[in-house]
Copies of this chain bind each other. A is one copy, B any other.
Amino acid sequence: MRIVIVGGVAAGASAAVKARRCNEDAEIILLEKSGFVSFANCGLPYYIGNVIQNREDLILVTPELFRERFNIDVRISHEAFDIDTEAKKLRVKSPDGVITEAYDKLILATGGIPIRPEIPGIHLKNVLNVFTIPDVDRVVATISEGKKTAVVAGGGFIGLETAENLTERGVKTILVEKLPQLMSNMDEEFAGVLAEHLNQNGLELHLNAGLKEIKGSDHVESVILENGIEIPCEMAILAMGVRPNTELARKAGLTIGTAGGICVDSSMLTSDPDIYAAGDAVESIHLVSGKNVRIPLAGSANKQGRVAGACAAGSKLSFKGVLGTSIIKAFDLTMARTGLNEREVKFTGLQYKSVYVPGFSNATYYPGAAPMIMKLTIEASSGKLLGAQAIGYKGIDKRIDVIATAIYSGLTVFDLEDLDLAYAPPYSSAKDPVILGGMISSNMLRGDISYVNRSEVQEMLANGNTELLDVRTEEELLEGKIEGAINIPVDELRKRYRELDQKKNYLIYCAVGYRGYNASLFLNSKGYRTLNLSGGYLAYTMNV
């Protein structure tokens, strides 16, 4: 049996090794168009920042190791460009010219291609990518030449990580993004917190600012944005996303899905019975929406590669789908998500609720407790978790991973209340933010309290007959309040509640929602109509 794999980074390398483990006798050939296999894609920005100091650390497995340990024939600088699916043959550009490779089973792990729009100046020198080792070699060389200013175009994972690392390396960096927000996979209020944090760390940001032109005679000298602003710079880094590299698959007539990726079944088999595919070029089922999506992430690529390798080699494994769980570090902040964000849930047509959960990384009486804001999006009828987003300084990864596991398992917010999570003061609180989120959401679904979200406040006030009631202390009000709110501190409410008007609706808030909840319940019991601002003033301002 002859297994040929096209593409040797995450999915391809995983596929090759797993195929070998499942089948010692197969001939396994790994074709990689670049000069490197199995490198640490996700580490590239950190090599620019000198956070990863040794270039060798970026190379996870060498061709020699593939050969010696796994008897895998790795051929770098080999680019497959055509598949004859009838004859089961590949045509490949190699250093020795075009060659032909026969296969019994083929695995396409062709990954993605960084988007480089055909704008004027795109081919100037120092217009760079951060996608391969040679790419970052170029960036590092450019910095070493003394270039001190950079424009990074694109506010997604690679753009942000690159901008942070350039800044850490002492390069004055301006980040420009075509969309109105950074990190388009997050809801806008989270992206806003991130933008503010980047600003505070010396990054200049331009949103709603697509790249129109790159100017320079030989090297880049400035970029011109669609809004007309011209930004002088000595290098421009394109991080505008990656499109799936499906060219080979399309030419071979393989089915391409609605999300633009190669269609595969749960064994990673394409529409051709002898061709598997895995990694950033394929689409997968989203475990919440049930829809096909293409979310290029390393974790999925590795798992898919493993499944494709096993199945191509005659074993059985399956890949269930994705939740799009992802995380980004931006200076001191961490932001992460899993499942669907609120914007995505809206598209599903499901009746849903979003709840903000301010919390802390660990017990507040223990040093180092850091604030966080989490947002749970849940199905209104059942309480089933649809997605979560979180931002903060510590412990964000933990909460998102717990919720990712809960969503995978089909848990509801009523289950979150019951989770038995590890508590000691350095690690968590007796009511972990995840459990607290379960309690808050469950209280709402049980009808104990009605929540209004930050985005609904102004509309609600405009409709009239609703008054804002701030139940924080007078000292807290000095730090800011929502325009127009009246104030009765919660601990005076039992004496002073008659000051309120039973004909009005009161939209109550405190700092994080805890005192507001108590105030709501008390006033409700006295015959007042109340609503509560989810997550309180903290979620309203997102001032984490």
Which positions in A face B, CB cutoff 8 Å?
Answer: 10, 21-22, 24-25, 40, 42-43, 46, 51-52, 57-58, 60, 65, 68-71, 157, 161, 287, 297-303, 306, 319-320, 322-329, 334, 336, 338, 363, 365-367, 397-398, 400-402, 404-406, 408-411, 415, 417-428, 430-432, 434-435, 439, 448, 490-492, 494, 515, 517-518, 521-522, 525-526
Copies of the polypeptide in the assembly? 2
19 further A-B pairs in the complex, CB-CB below 8 A; given A299-B423, A299-B435, A404-B420: A10-B430, A24-B525, A43-B425, A46-B366, A57-B365, A60-B365, A297-B423, A338-B420, A398-B398, A398-B401, A400-B422, A401-B401, A401-B421, A401-B422, A401-B434, A405-B406, A405-B421, A409-B410, A409-B415
If A21-B448, A397-B422, A522-B24 touch, whether A406 touches B404 (CB-CB below 8 Å) is: no
Q: Across the interface, do B491 and A69 meet the contact criterion of CB distance under 8 Å?
A: yes
A418: contacting residue among B25, B42, B298, B303, CB under 8 A: B303
A42: contacting residue among B22, B46, B425, CB under 8 A: B425
Q: Across the interface, do B404 and A299 meet the contact criterion of CB distance under 8 Å?
A: no
Question: How near does chain B come to A476, taking the closest CB pair, in angstroms?
Answer: 15
Which residues of B lie under 8 Å from residue A60 when comparing CB positions? 365
Which residues of B lie under 8 Å from residue A492 when comparing CB positions? 68
Question: How near does chain B come to A71, taking the closest CB pair, in angstroms?
Answer: 6
Which residues of B lie under 8 Å from residue A21 when comparing CB positions? 448, 517-518, 521
How many angstroms from the CA of A419 to the CA of B336 in the assembled complex? 16
Chain A to chain B contacts (Cβ below 8 Å), 23 pairs: A21-B448, A24-B521, A46-B425, A52-B365, A52-B366, A68-B494, A69-B518, A70-B518, A298-B430, A299-B430, A299-B432, A303-B417, A323-B420, A338-B422, A397-B398, A397-B422, A397-B427, A398-B401, A401-B402, A401-B422, A402-B405, A404-B419, A409-B415
How many angstroms from the CA of A415 to the CA of B319 in the assembled complex? 10
Minimum CB distance partner of A422 in chain B: B327
Question: How near does chain B come to A483, taking the closest CB pair, in angstroms?
Answer: 26
A419: contacting residue among B327, B405, B521, CB under 8 A: B405
Which residues of B lie under 8 Å from residue A431 when comparing CB positions? 299, 302
How many angstroms from the CA of A428 to the CA of B298 in the assembled complex? 11
How many angstroms from the CA of A40 to the CA of B58 in the assembled complex? 46
Which residues of B lie under 8 Å from residue A435 when comparing CB positions? 299, 303
Q: Across the interface, do B408 and A326 meet the contact criterion of CB distance under 8 Å?
A: no
Which residues of B lie under 8 Å from residue A420 when comparing CB positions? 287, 299-300, 322-325, 338, 404, 408
Q: Across the interface, do A58 and B297 meet the contact criterion of CB distance under 8 Å?
A: no
A299: contacting residue among B10, B68, B397, B421, CB under 8 A: B421
Q: Across the interface, do B427 and A327 meet the contact criterion of CB distance under 8 Å?
A: yes
Instruction: List the 9 closest pairs (A to B, CB-CB), nearest first.
Output: A409-B409, A24-B525, A327-B422, A323-B420, A398-B398, A57-B365, A68-B491, A405-B405, A397-B427
Most chain B Cβ neighbours within 10 Å, of A327, A397, A409: A397
How many angstroms from the CA of A367 to the CA of B165 in the assembled complex? 14
How many angstroms from the CA of A24 to the CA of B435 in the assembled complex? 25
Minimum CB distance partner of A295 in chain B: B420
Most chain B Cβ neighbours within 10 Å, of A57, A410, A425, A494: A425
A430: contacting residue among B302, B365, B518, CB under 8 A: B302
Which residues of B lie under 8 Å from residue A366 when comparing CB positions? 43, 46, 51-52
Question: How near does chain B come to A510, taking the closest CB pair, in angstroms?
Answer: 11
Q: Across the interface, do B327 and A423 meet the contact criterion of CB distance under 8 Å?
A: yes
How many angstroms from the CA of A22 to the CA of B408 in the assembled complex? 33
Q: Across the interface, do A42 and B363 meet the contact criterion of CB distance under 8 Å?
A: yes
Which residues of B lie under 8 Å from residue A43 when comparing CB positions? 363, 365-366, 425
Question: How near does chain B come to A400, taking the closest CB pair, in angstroms?
Answer: 5
Which residues of B lie under 8 Å from residue A327 when comparing CB positions? 422-424, 427-428
Which residues of B lie under 8 Å from residue A428 when comparing CB positions? 327, 397
